[in-house]
Amino acid sequence: MAVLILVFLLWYGGLFFQSFFLHRYAAHQVFTMSKTMERITFVLTWVFQGSSYLSAYGYGIMHRMHHAFTDTEKDPHSPKFDDNMFAMMWKTKTMYQDINLDRIPVEARFTKNVPQWKAFDKFASSRFSRLLWITLYVLFFVYFATAWWQWMLLPVTLMMAPIHGVIINWFGHIYGYVNYKMKNTSKNLFPFDFLMMGEGYHNNHHKYANRANFGIKWHEIDVTYLIMRILNSIGMIQLKRM
């Protein structure tokens, strides 16, 4: 039971900070927050993403490129130009690392105001940090796993952020329904997005990229946005007016 609780907390905790911080704040800047709150969110993203930590800088730039070049050869992740999801994941990883290490030129429009904390990212993305989290996860499983099948969840724990990414960037461009006909393959994965906390409304998001609420129809409840509304009401963030 403890293993299932851990995976549940890391799935939805990591997903929230990927959606809230990396996606809606770093890439699209649909809200503002203080520098102190931003630093706290950096740390919480590391805590919940653990061994698969993604920097706001690398994610933010790459996601902006995804919107600018959707389903073209310049798209960092498109099922149209990769043979399978693993090839797409490898291509995405390579570009993400190239951006973070300044190995490729990036247009100024993609870097504007993207949050960056170089010292913390260097630590959180380091081999030491990733091995530390892997060790902690393995020890947790050794101590709390009560059945052999629970060990099948360990790879999910180790690769949580890439798994979240491939669900949207691969399956969200192949399966689902559309509210808006567009010149790309984006789709909404679920009528009610219980799995991805609103990220699954991918077709809606491609239509209105800078809209804080990814849900459009009455049944498209964006859980991440509801949490953002609460944070906005208590002054921790400031949602921008559309």
- Give a yes or no: residue 68 inside a domain: yes
Which alpha helices (DSSP H) does the chain contain, by range? 2-17, 35-49, 56-68, 85-100, 108-111, 118-124, 127-144, 154-158, 160-169, 202-207, 223-233
What residues contact residue 36 under an 8 Å CB cut-off, 6+ apart?
none
31, 212 Cβ separation under 8 angstroms = yes
- Give a yes or no: residue 117 inside a domain: yes
Nearest-angstrom CA–CA distance, 72 and 68: 9
Backbone angles phi, psi at 239, to 5 degrees: -65, 140
Place of tokens 């329904």: 177
Statement: the pTM of the whole predicted model exceeds 0.85: yes
| The two structure tokens encoding residue 137 | 């996860």
The radius of gyration of the chain from alpha carbons, rounded to an integer in Å, stands at: 18
Q: What is the pLDDT of residues 57-72, one digit of tens each?
A: 999 999 999 999 999 9
* pLDDT for the residue 203: 98
Domain count, the chain: 1
| The two structure tokens encoding residue 39 | 């630093």
Range of the domain at 121: 2-175
- Give a yes or no: residue 36 inside a domain: yes
Q: What is the pLDDT of residues 125-144, one digit of tens each?
A: 999 999 999 999 999 999 99
- Give a yes or no: residue 39 inside a domain: yes
241 pLDDT band, cuts 50/70/90, is: confident
What residues contact residue 102 under an 8 Å CB cut-off, 6+ apart?
none
- Give a yes or no: residue 220 inside a domain: no
